[in-house]
Structure 1
Amino acid sequence: MTDRQRADARRNHERILAVAEREVAAHGAQASLEQIARVAGVGSATVRRHFPTRQALLEAVLGHRIELLCERARELTGAPDGREALLTWLDELVTYCVTAKGLATALAHDGDPVGENSCATVISEAAGPLLRRAVAEGAVTPDVTAVELVSLIVGIAMVTEHHRDPAASAGRLFAVAVAGIGPARAT
């Protein structure tokens, strides 16, 4: 591949990603790949060459948001109360999933995530230290896994996305779920 071909491929990749970000923001995970190709000025095959699956495209589009959630998990690992740190982070994950169209879909997987750095894997790994600390403090039952918690959040976001007030509905379902993941604390 010549330098010119590589430069063209990089420009196509950047253009596809920029268009995809706008389309996913407007239409969520079901954004039309054909529309993305058309607006980016490339063929469908070019889009598929850069992003072989819809999941791969979503992960690329949502990568920045995922990194922000991971940074936030790292920040919260030093919080004085492990349960509150975990719940704060999970609540922020609910908020991101409800407000960022496509994020819940990118986090949904059937236990076989696409690629080693899939959104679901990265988010579950970020939740790990928070969960382990909450378990060590006796605030969460030891059999709860990070993958289960992320799946719970994904489910909440997906089931409430068409509600009149998705954020309020998701918040309420999250509160119901929290009441069931560990012992209640007296305040």
Structure 2
Amino acid sequence: MASYEPAPAGRPQPTPAGRPLRADARRNRTRILEAAEAVFAAKGSAASTEEIAQQAGVGIGTVFRHFPTKEALLQAIIGAQAARLADDIEGLLRGGDPATALFTFFTGMTERAARTKTVIDLLAEAGIDISVSKPVHGLRRAIEDLLTNAQDAGTVRKDVSAPEVIALLVGVCQATVHTAWDRDVMNRTLAIVFDGLRPRP
């Protein structure tokens, strides 16, 4: 983030580790993360702290109090994305259509990878390697359940197993992160992948 600088001495310091945040502080932290994701997606590496604070409706000091460095903010964005990903897949397992839930998850994961491309690139520049394979492999059991449900519903081939689905998912997400795909290319790529997963006539 071009204008992100360490918080000067006069700014409030981060909450000490282990101390729970007050409700208003939690709300501010959530707003800052949501605003940062949106600003990075729109502005790329040119995003500024001022823009993030303005979109979040907080002062710049509040941003630095929660995230005293650019890397802390970027890593928190990745963490929030991983938490939402886990929530999404659990929601699909509980209430999604078994016939389409796997495809919905695959599409959502790819879209998330595209939205966090700038964040991952900036972390890489700072020497912090973020791999999309780690959160995907962490959800292996849930992905297996989505796959089984889709196969039982007749929308995925019976000879497909979880390792193949995970390999395809990681590959597409990595390509999304490291290649400047537009939305049309992403949609066509997903259509080809999904066609390969579906049963043959």
**TM bracket (short chain):** 0.5 to 0.7
One-letter amino acid matched to 1:26: V
Residue by residue over 1:9-28, the C-alpha shift from the partner in whole angstroms, topping out at 9 and shown as x without a partner, is 66445323312211211213
Match status 1:102 vs 2:116: yes
CA contact (8 A) 2:117 2:177 kept: no
| Equivalence for 2:185 | 169
Query: Secondary structure of 1:109's partner?
Result: coil
Q: Percent identity?
A: 15
One-letter amino acid matched to 2:90: C
Q: What pairs up with 1:20-169 in 2 under 5 angstroms? A: 20-28=33-41, 39-42=59-62, 44=64, 46-47=66-67, 52=72, 54-60=74-80, 63-64=83-84, 66-76=86-96, 79=98, 81=99, 85-95=101-111, 97-98=113-114, 101-102=115-116, 109=131, 113=134, 119-120=135-136, 123-133=139-149, 138-142=157-161, 144-145=163-164, 147-159=166-178, 162-163=180-181, 166-169=182-185
One-letter amino acid matched to 1:102: T
Tell me the CA shift for residue 90 of structure 1: 2.0
Query: Secondary structure of 2:67's partner?
Result: helix
Query: Secondary structure of 2:106's partner?
Result: helix
Equivalent-residue separation in structure 2 for 1:31 and 1:124 (angstroms):
35
Higher mean C-alpha displacement, 19-28 vs 119-128? 119-128
Q: What TM-score results when the alignment is normalised by the length of structure 1?
A: 0.56
| Equivalence for 2:28 | 15
Query: Secondary structure of 1:172's partner?
Result: helix
Tell me the CA shift for residue 71 of structure 1: 0.9
Gaps in structure 1 of 5+ consecutive residues: 114-118
CA contact (8 A) 1:156 1:170 kept: no
One-letter amino acid matched to 1:55: Q
| Equivalence for 2:9 | none
Equivalent-residue separation in structure 1 for 2:75 and 2:174 (angstroms):
17
RMSD: 4.4
Query: Secondary structure of 1:71's partner?
Result: helix
Query: Secondary structure of 1:41's partner?
Result: helix
CA contact (8 A) 2:85 2:109 kept: no
CA contact (8 A) 1:104 1:154 kept: no
One-letter amino acid matched to 1:109: S
CA contact (8 A) 1:70 1:126 kept: yes
Equivalent-residue separation in structure 1 for 2:163 and 2:36 (angstroms):
36
Tell me the CA shift for residue 129 of structure 1: 0.5
